[in-house]
Structure 1
Amino acid sequence: MRLSPTTLTGLPVGIATPGYDRDAQPIGIVHFGIGAFHRAHQAWYTDLAMNAGESGWAICGVSMRSASVAEQLNPQGGLYSLTERGGGRADTSIIGAVREVLVAPDTPDAVIARIASPDCHIVSFTVTEKGYARAADGSLDLMLAAKSFYPLLTAALEQRQAQGLSGLTLMSCDNLSGNGQALARLMHDWLEAKAPALIDWFDANCACPETMIDRIVPATTDEDRIMLEKKLGMRDEGAVLTESFSQWVIEDRFAGPRPRWENHGAQLVAEVAPYETAKLRMLNGAHSMLAYCGLARGLTYVHEAVADAELKALATDLMLKEAAPTIDAAPEQDLPAYAASLIDRFAEPSIQHRLAQIAMDGSQKIPQRWLETVKAQQEAGNACPSITAAFEAWIAHLEDGTLVNDPHGEELTAVVRDKGREGLLDHLFNTSGIFAGLPCPVAR
C-alpha cells in the first residue's frame, strides 16, 4: 500500500497528518526545484501555516529536468512524510502543502498557467547555484537561461500584465550571495534581451526579497524508505529525512499576500545580509571543507569527518579564525555560539549526510563559501590556512575525478589532467575564468 489521500486513515496512531482541507486550498505558490530541501523547509513552513488556519497557499512544484519527483509525489496526491531526527528521536509527520508536481519540459503551458493564475502570489526557487544560468562575470548566460525558468516565468508575467493582475514575489531560496538582488539582476538581463516591454511593469509590481535558508537535508536512501515503510505501514516514495533544526530569514519585502511564516519560526527582518554571510562563509564553508578533506581520507558522512580531530579543528578554525572576522554581524548574532552549534549539528550521527552530496557543484559554490572570505582576509593582510587546505583537497578531488559532479566537471578534470595543477589555477583565475577577480588561496 502506498501513501495517498485515500490511505491517510490507515496510518499508525501518532503520525500527524494535514489538519486542513487540501482540496479546498488554491495554489498560491509555484516552486521551481522541488527537491528534498524544499520539501523539508519552505513546504514544511507552509504546511504549518495552513494547519494553523491560513488558506490559499498550496504549492505547485516544478521540475526543470527530471520527472523523478513528479513520479514520487503525483501518485501520492503530493503527500510525503517528513522525519526529523536528532537526540535519539525520529518524529515523522505527513506534509500536505504540495498539491502537484509539473515537469516543465513536458508541460510548459501548465507551468505558465499556474504562475499566471490570479491565485498565485509567490514564485520561489531552489534550483541550486547553477540553475540561475550565470556567466563567469555574474551576468546572465542567455543560452543557458533559455533552458531554465526564465522563459516560463516571463511568459506568465506577460499574461499577468495583459490581464491586469498583480505582480509576484519572486523568492530565491538558494545559497547565492544576495540571492534576491541576484535574481532581480538576472531577470533584468533576460527581460532586456527577450521582453524589454515588460521591464517597467516588472520593476513596479514585482519584488525579489533576500532570504537565508538553513536545514541539513541528506538525500533519502532506499534503506530510509524501507525503514519508513515499516514505521508507516505503507510505502512513501517521496519521503524526506532531516535534522530537527531549521532556520529561515526573509527580508520583509513582498509584492502581495504571503503566509505568516513568522508564526512558525521564520524570521522576517529588514536586513538579511549578516545572516546570509554567516551561513555561507561559516556553515557552507565548513561543510565544503569537510566534504573534500573527508573524501580524501576515505570517509563517507559529515559526522565521520567532524569526528576526525584534525578535520574538526580545521572546520572550527575556518569558521572562527577565518570566516567570522569578515562578517559584519547583526547585534543579536553570536558567531562563536553559532560555530559551536554547527559543530554539534555536523556531529549528529542520525543525519546521514553524505560528503559526496555536499561536494557536488563545487565550482559554483567555492566563490561565496571560501574565496570571499579569502579576499576579505587578504585585504587585511591575513592568510586562511584552513581554506587553503580545503582548496587543495578540491584540486585533488578534480585530479581523482571519480566523484566529481559539477557543471564544469569534465572541463576542469580535463584541464588538470592535461596541464596539471598550475594549468588548472591559470584556467580558474584568469580574466575569463570561473573565479576571475577573486584571490587564489593556494601558493602558485
Structure 2
Amino acid sequence: MERLNRAMLESLQTPGLEIGPRRELPVKAMQFGEGNFLRAFIDWMIDKSNEAGKFNGMVQLIQPLPQGTADLINRQEGLYTLILRGMENGKAAEYKRVITCVKGCLKTSDEWEKVVECACLPTLEVVFSNTTEAGIEYKPEPYTPGQSQKTFPAKVTSLLFERFQAGRKGLLFVPCELIDRNGGKLRECILRYAADWKLGDTFVSYVENECAFVNTLVDRIVAGYPRAEAADYCAKLGYEDDLLDCGEIFHLFVVEGDEKFRAKLPFAEAGLNLIWTRNQAPYRSRKVRFLNGGHTSSVLAAYLAGFDFVDQMTSDPLFGRYLRTALFEEVFPTVQLPDDEKRAFAESIIDRFLNPFANHQLISISLNSISKWQVRVLPSLLDYLKITGRLPKVLTFSLAALLAFYRGTETADGKWEGKREKGSYPISDDPEKIRFINECYAKLDADGDTSAFVRNILGRNDFWGQDLTAVPGLADAVSDDLAAIRREGVVPAVEQLLEA
C-alpha cells in the first residue's frame, strides 16, 4: 500500500473518513511538542477550525528533544489519521479524520536556523506547547545565539528575542502543560532568562506588553498509536500511516485570559468545547485531581500487577476498587465543589476509564511520573491530611508503588529499564532522578533499611517541590507500603491495603 501523502488526498474515498481542508494556508501557529496528545487535541482543533473557515492557518510542529517523531511526520508531509472512539447515547461511535493542518516538523537539535525562520514569520500569531509537567522550568544556562538552548523556556526566550530583533509583532503563548498557571510560569521563566542574558529593557517590555500568556486546562484521553490494530486500520483506510493516533471523543479546553485574544483561538466558534474564563481554578482542580490524579495514583501499581491498559485496570475487581477508593473517598473531600457535581464528575471518569475503545496504555501514562505525582496527587494527599488528620491510604500507597516502579537498570544507551513478571519495561523520566533512586536501592539491598531509603528520596525538594519527610507519618507509611510490595508483591499488598 502507498503511504499517506498529500497527492493522494483528492482520490481518497474511504467510507466514513473525513479529510481536512486541502488548500495551502499560511503558518499561523508554532507548536513545541509533536506527540500524540497535541496532535489529537490542538491540531485536531485547528483542523476543524480551518474547515469552519475560522482559523485559516497551518501549524509548524517543533520537536524540542533530540528523539521524536519528526522524521515520520515529514515523511508523511505532515499528514496523519486521527481516530476518535467512544460511546455516544449508549452506542459505540467512531470518527476517522485525516488531519491536514500540519506544515511539517522541525528539530531544534539540528535545524535551529529553520526554527528561527519560522519564529520570525510575519504570519505567526500563536505558540502552543506540551513539554509535560517537567517542561516549564527555569534552569540557569548561558545564552548561545545561533544554537538551540537546553530548556524549553530558554529555547522560547531565544526565539522570541530573534523575533523581536526582526521587528515582528508579539505572540500569544498557549501552553498545554498540566501545571497550575502554566502561561504565567512560562512568562516568568522567559523574563528570568532575559535578565540573565542581559537582553535589554526594550525586549523585556516587548515580552511584558506585546506578548500574551494564557493559562490553560486540557482534557482528552489520548491512547496514541493503536499498535495491535494498526494493520487492520491501514487495510480499511487504503494507505499506510505510521502516525495513526487514537483518542476519546470527549474533549474540553479551558482558557484563562482576556477575551480580546479569543479571535486568535476561534475554536468555540467552530463548534468545539472551549471555555474562556477569568478563573480556571475550579475546572483545573476538578480535572487534575479526579482524572489525572486517578491515572497517576493507580497506573504504576496496576502495571506492576500485570495490567497493560486503563480499561483492564478499571474493570478488575481489586484495582477497580482501589481506583474508586482513591477517587470517591480520598480525592472527593479535597475538591471544593458541590457534592452532586463532584460525584457526577467522578462517575464520568470511571466511565471514561472503562471506554473499551481507548486502548490507553498504562506505560504511556508512566512518563515523568515523579513530576506528575507532585502535580496530580500530592495536593490531594496534603489536603486530605489537613481535613481529616490522617493520611489517605491509597494516595500514600501510590507513592510506594512509584518507588517500586522506578527500580531498574541502566542500559548501554543510557536509558533505564525496570522488570515485572511479564518482562522488562521502560522507565521514562529525568535520568538523574532515576539514577538517584537506584543508587538508594543499592544501599537498601546492602543494609535492608527501607525507612532510610524512603527518607532519602522523600527528602528531595527538587523531586516533590518540598521536603516530604516533614509531612507527619508519610515517610513511615510509604516505608511500610514499599516493604509490603517488596515482600509479598503488589497484588497482595493492595489486597491488604483495602482490607485495612
TM-score in same-fold range (> 0.5): yes
Aligned pair partner of 2:185 in 178, 182, 187: 182
Residue among 99, 103, 122 paired with 1:99: 103
Output the amino acid matched with 1:6: A
Question: What residue is the counterpart of 1:338 in the other structure?
Answer: 345
* Distance change in 2, residues 1:234/1:431 (3 Å): closer
Q: In the alignment, is residue 225 of structure 1 matched against residue 235 of structure 2?
A: no
Pick the aligned partner of 2:329 from 313, 321, 328.
321
CA gap 1:395/1:210 in 2 versus in 1, 3 angstroms: same
Q: Deviations over 1:92-120 (max 9, x none)?
A: 11111111111111111111121221111
Instruction: State the match for 1:378 in structure 2.
Output: 385
d(CA) in 1 for partners of 2:189 and 2:196?
Answer: 11
Moved more, 26-35 or 283-292: 283-292
Check conservation: 2:153, 2:186, Cα contact below 8 A. no
Among candidates 107, 126, 130, match of residue 130 of structure 2: 126
Q: CA deviation at 1:125?
A: 0.6
Q: CA shift at 1:332, angstroms? A: 12
The offset of 1:55, in angstroms, is 4.4
> What is the deviation of 1:16?
0.9
Change in Cα spacing, 1:429 to 1:43, as seen in structure 2 (3 Å) is same
Give the superposition deviation at 1:195: 4.1
Q: Given that residues 174 and 183 in structure 2 are in contact (C-alpha distance below 8 angstroms), is that contact kept between their aligned partners in structure 1?
A: yes
Distance 1:222 1:292, change over 3 A: closer
- SS across alignment from 1:128: coil
Alignment of 1:145-156 (within 5 A): 146-156=149-159
* More RCO (CA 8 Å, sep 6+): 1
Using the TM superposition, give the Cα deviation of residue 433 of structure 1 relative to its aligned residue in structure 2, in angstroms: 4.5
- Distance in structure 2 (CA, Å) of the matches to 1:14 and 1:163: 46
Q: In the aligned structure 1, how far is the partner of 2:149 from the partner of 2:455?
A: 30
Q: What corresponds to 2:415 in structure 1?
A: none
Deviation at 1:200, TM superposition (A): 2.4
Contact 1:116-1:159 at 8 Å conserved across structures: yes
Deviation at 1:254, TM superposition (A): 7.1
Most deviating of 187-196 and 254-263? 254-263
SS of 1:38's partner is helix
Letter aligned with residue 261 of structure 1:
F
- Cα offset, 1:410, TM superposition: 2.1
Shift of the alpha carbon at 1:60? Answer: 0.2
CA distances 1:264-314 after superposition (whole Å, capped 9, x unpaired): 221111111221122221111111122112123111111111112232222
SS of 1:106 mapped into structure 2? coil
How far apart are the structure 2 equivalents of 1:417 and 1:182? 37
Give the TM-score of the pair, scaled to structure 2: 0.81
Q: Does 1:412 align with 2:433?
A: no
Residue of structure 2 aligned with 1:291, choices 286, 289, 299? 299
Q: The residue matched to 2:169 in structure 1 has which SS?
A: coil
Whole-angstrom distance in 1 between the partners of 2:267 and 2:467: 37
- 2:276 counterpart SS class: strand
For 1:245, the aligned partner's letter is F
- Would the alpha carbon gap of residues 443 and 416 (structure 1) be closer, same or farther in structure 2, given more than 3 Å must change? same
Cα deviation, residue 177, structure 1: 2.2
Structure 1 counterpart of 2:246, one-letter code: L
Query: Hey, what's the Cα distance between the residues in 2 that align with 1:83 and 1:113?
Result: 33
For 1:227 and 1:152, locate their aligned partners in 2 and report how far apart those are by CA, in whole Å: 40
Task: Give a deviation string over 1:348-372, Cα, whole Å, max 9, x none.
Answer: 1221111111122111111111111
Report the counterpart of residue 248 of structure 2 in structure 1.
243
The 5 A counterparts of 1:14-413 are 14-19=16-21, 21=23, 23=24, 25-66=25-66, 68-87=68-87, 88-132=92-136, 134=137, 140-143=138-141, 146-197=149-200, 198-253=203-258, 257-263=263-269, 264-329=272-337, 334-380=341-387, 381-399=389-407, 401-402=418-419, 403=425, 404-407=427-430, 408-413=433-438
Aligned length: 435
C-alpha root-mean-square deviation of aligned residues, in Å?
A: 2.4
Pair 1:6–1:51, CA change in 2 (3 A): same
Letter in 2 for 1:437: Q
8 Å contact kept, 2:134–2:371: yes
Go from structure 1 to structure 2 and tell me whether the alpha carbon gap of 1:412 and 1:225 turns closer, same or farther (over 3 Å shift): same
| Letter of the 2:19 counterpart | T
CA distance, structure 1, for counterparts of residue 260 and residue 441 of structure 2: 47
CA change 1:143–1:240 in 2 (3 A) is same
Provide the secondary structure at the position in 2 that maps to 1:353.
Answer: coil
Contact 2:170-2:211 at 8 Å conserved across structures:
yes
Quote the Cα distance in structure 1 between the aligned partners of 2:317 and 2:152: 43
* Residue range with higher mean Cα deviation, 143-152 or 400-409: 143-152
Residue in 2 aligned with 1:5? 6
What is the CA distance between 1:66 and its match in structure 2?
4.2
Q: How many angstroms apart in 1 are the aligned matches of 2:74 and 2:239?
A: 16
Q: Is the 8 A contact 1:112 1:153 kept in 2?
A: no
Distance 1:424 1:227, change over 3 A: farther
The structural deviation recorded for 1:90 is: 2.8
Amino-acid identity (%): 22
Structure 2 Cα separation of the partners of residues 190 and 53 of structure 1: 38
Question: Structure 2 CA distance, aligned partners of 1:210 and 1:129?
Answer: 14
CA distance, structure 2, for counterparts of residue 417 and residue 67 of structure 1: 30
Q: Give distance in 2, aligned partners of 1:387 and 1:379.
A: 14
Change (3 A) 1:195 1:151: farther
State the alpha-carbon separation in 2 of the partners of residues 116 and 200 from structure 1: 18
CA distance in 1, matches of 2:266, 2:174: 15
Superposed CA deviations along residues 116-160 of structure 1, whole A, max 9, x for unmatched, are: 21111111111112222x3xxxxx122499313334422332233
* Residue 11 of structure 1: how far off its partner (Å): 3.7
Q: Which amino acid aligns with 2:296?
A: S
2: distance between equivalents of 1:7 and 1:371? 49
Q: Give the aligned residue type for 1:405.
A: S
